[in-house]
Structure 1
Amino acid sequence: MISGPLRSLGPALLLAAAGVGPAAAAGDAAAGAAAWVQKHPQAEGAPARSCASCHNEDLTQPGRHARTGKPIEPLAPSVHPERLTDPAKVEKWLRRNCRWTLGRECSATEKADFLAYIRTQ
């Protein structure tokens, strides 16, 4: 967890850890918000899913994993201050959730957009 004077470096470190270069580092929160609710078809007749399928559209509220039912704490940093403070965790979950939801890894731009959106919550 980043604390003290290093806390202000948080977004830059997260984006670097997520493979986001300087050109995309700012991200587009509006694009992230739109992508958050975009439904992606799944294999073998499973229902289409989006990020909101598990994490909710309101990131200040807890979510629930669509397949396992496991509770997910709110993603909003305003409610859960530890969110987005560990670059390794951010990269791990972006990689895992993009693969599960989109069927592929997210691009650097998509990652920056998602992070920009989540940080606004």
Structure 2
Amino acid sequence: MPSTSRPRPARRPPGRRACAATALLALALGSLMPRGAQAAPTTPQALRDAYAAAAGQPADAARGQALFTARHGREWSCSQCHGQPPTQDGQHASTGKRITPLAPAYNATRFTDDGKTEKWFRRNCSDVLGRACSPAEKADVLAYLISLK
């Protein structure tokens, strides 16, 4: 008996689903690599600058601090888990899991991998804001975190 199922459409190439801002950010970061390739090391400053370029405006540490400490009508703020200022170990509000310092001056591995940075912005912005962070918000938060010495 012949199958009545429809043929599956061809799979889209990786990266086709990315929005224009993500593509611009990836270009700015120089991280358009084949699937499975390791991310090139970066710096917090390079990430901040790439997000600011994608936003079309300079990063602002004061706006970043305000975003970091506010609740935004949700259950948590960034500072509840990461501390204020985020220069010491923090603790996840619901799991109790230890979180290493977020400020790059206190944790040299922070914001040195653009893939990890995007992953954590995606997760944390969803928890704190209930939506994705804009490139401007990411640039501002990074500017604030970089300013902590």
TM-score bracket, normalised by the shorter chain, equals 0.7 to 0.9
Secondary structure at 1:57's aligned position in 2? coil
Distance in 1 (CA, whole Å) between partners of 2:55 and 2:111 is 18
Distance in 2 (CA, whole Å) between partners of 1:22 and 1:100 is 22
In the alignment, which residue of structure 2 is the partner of 1:34?
66
In the alignment, which residue of structure 2 is the partner of 1:115?
142
In the alignment, which residue of structure 2 is the partner of 1:95?
122
Partners of 2:48 and 2:138 within 8 A in 1:
no
Deviations 1:74-105 (A, max 9, x none): 01111111111111111111111000111100
Partners of 1:14 and 1:90 within 8 A in 2:
no
In the alignment, which residue of structure 2 is the partner of 1:83?
110
Greater RCO (CA < 8 Å, at least 6 residues apart): 1
Secondary structure at 1:119's aligned position in 2? helix
Secondary structure at 2:54's aligned position in 1? coil
In the alignment, which residue of structure 2 is the partner of 1:45?
none
**2:48 paired with 1:21:** no
Partners of 2:103 and 2:145 within 8 A in 1:
yes
Which 4+ runs in 1 deviate beyond 2 A? 9-16
Partners of 1:20 and 1:111 within 8 A in 2:
no
Q: State the shift of 1:49 in Å.
A: 1.4
Larger of the two Rg values belongs to structure? 2
Tell me the amino acid that sits aligned with residue 137 of structure 2. E
Residues 13, 37 of structure 1: alpha-carbon distance in 2 compared, 3 angstrom cutoff: closer
Distance in 2 (CA, whole Å) between partners of 1:30 and 1:41 is 20
Q: State the shift of 1:109 in Å.
A: 0.8
User: Which of 84, 97, 119 is equivalent to 1:57?
Assistant: 84
Distance in 2 (CA, whole Å) between partners of 1:88 and 1:14 is 14
Secondary structure at 1:77's aligned position in 2? coil
Tell me the amino acid that sits aligned with residue 56 of structure 2. A
The Cα RMSD (Å) is 2.2
| Count of aligned positions | 109
